[in-house]
Amino acid sequence: MPLSRWSVAEITREAIERGLVASIGDTTVWRWLSEDAIRPWAHRTWIFPRALDFQERAGRVLDLYEGIWKGKPLAPTDCILSTDEKTSIQARKRLHATLPPAAGRPMRVEHEYERAGAWAYFAAWDVRNARIHGRCEEKTGIDPFMRLVDQVMRLKAYRSARRVFWIMDNGSSHRGDRSDQRLQARWPNIIPVHTPVHASWLNQVEIFFSIIQRKVLDPNDFSSLDELKELLLGFQKHYEAAAEPFQWKFTRRNLKTLLDKISARSEIGPRQAAA
């Protein structure tokens, strides 16, 4: 069929044309599919884990979330920071003023806009203490990232800690052994922990970024970069006032179950799996 996704109407028509049923309504098909949790009209993208050491590197991050490092419990004074950058956050100045909501009418935001510039937002989420540290930079890179590191590590709680684990992905701002050496040369109590490739979902700061997206950046209506920066940094304080550590429930055991399932499906192949 020349279709990448099926609608309910197309499924209904095909079932009748194939003689599976003499007649059937769209509502009945919709109900059957909903009861079976099958929705052919929906799709989601995902990234296949391809790093050879995916399980071990991901497992180290998950152990930290459970308060364990190399098989031993963390000390109460050990700190865990989850860090990344949200790139190219545009300030979009709408061509017509946004209209506030009124009775029976939602807020109205003009579709067209002028670009007023963009920030790269660097952030570090304190996993154990629910604190967020962030800054706006004109662009990403090693120097902007190190400015975030210095901003955080100068605080007494981290400067005096015996170990400060920095969980990060493999972005160009903090990739590889040279990045680890750079961090530890400046702050010897830092222990860099890199997620494997295609595992940004393991980095808790991404949860905070999703909150920022919903509560600050959507809809995007800012008259200037200064206004956008003021709101981003102001939201940090607002969020911390009621923040609690994220209730992370995915463990190393769950990871093994997931990877075993993916491996089994890969060995079976798509046609056999469908059968």
Amino acid at 132: I
- Residue 130: half-sphere exposure toward Cβ, Cα within 13 Å: 12
Strands 113-126 and 131-137: antiparallel
Structural domains in the chain, CATH included, are: 1-44 (no CATH), 54-240 (3.30.420.10)
Q: Which value, in Å, is the radius of gyration of the alpha carbons in the chain?
A: 24
Q: How far apart are CA 244 and CA 126, in angstroms?
A: 10
For 171-224, what is each residue's pLDDT tens digit? Answer: 999 999 999 999 999 999 999 999 998 888 899 999 999 999 999 999 999 999
- With H, G, I as helix, E, B as strand and everything else as coil, classify residue 133: strand
Amino acid in position 79? C
- Looking at residue 126, what is its pLDDT? 98
Sign of CA dihedral 192, 193, 197, 201: negative
pTM summary value: 0.83
Q: Which of 18-27, 82-91, 105-114, 256-265 has the lowest mean pLDDT?
A: 256-265
Using the predicted structure, report yes or no on whether residue 229 has a pLDDT greater than 90. yes
> Quick one: pLDDT band at residue 262, thresholds 50, 70, 90?
confident
Contacts (Cβ under 8 Å, ≥6 apart) of 184: 190, 192
pLDDT digits (tens, 9 = 90+) for 109-123: 999 999 999 999 999
The secondary element (H helix, E strand) that includes residue 270 is helix 270-274
Which 3 state secondary structure label does DSSP give 82? strand
Number of H helices, E strands in the chain: 10, 7
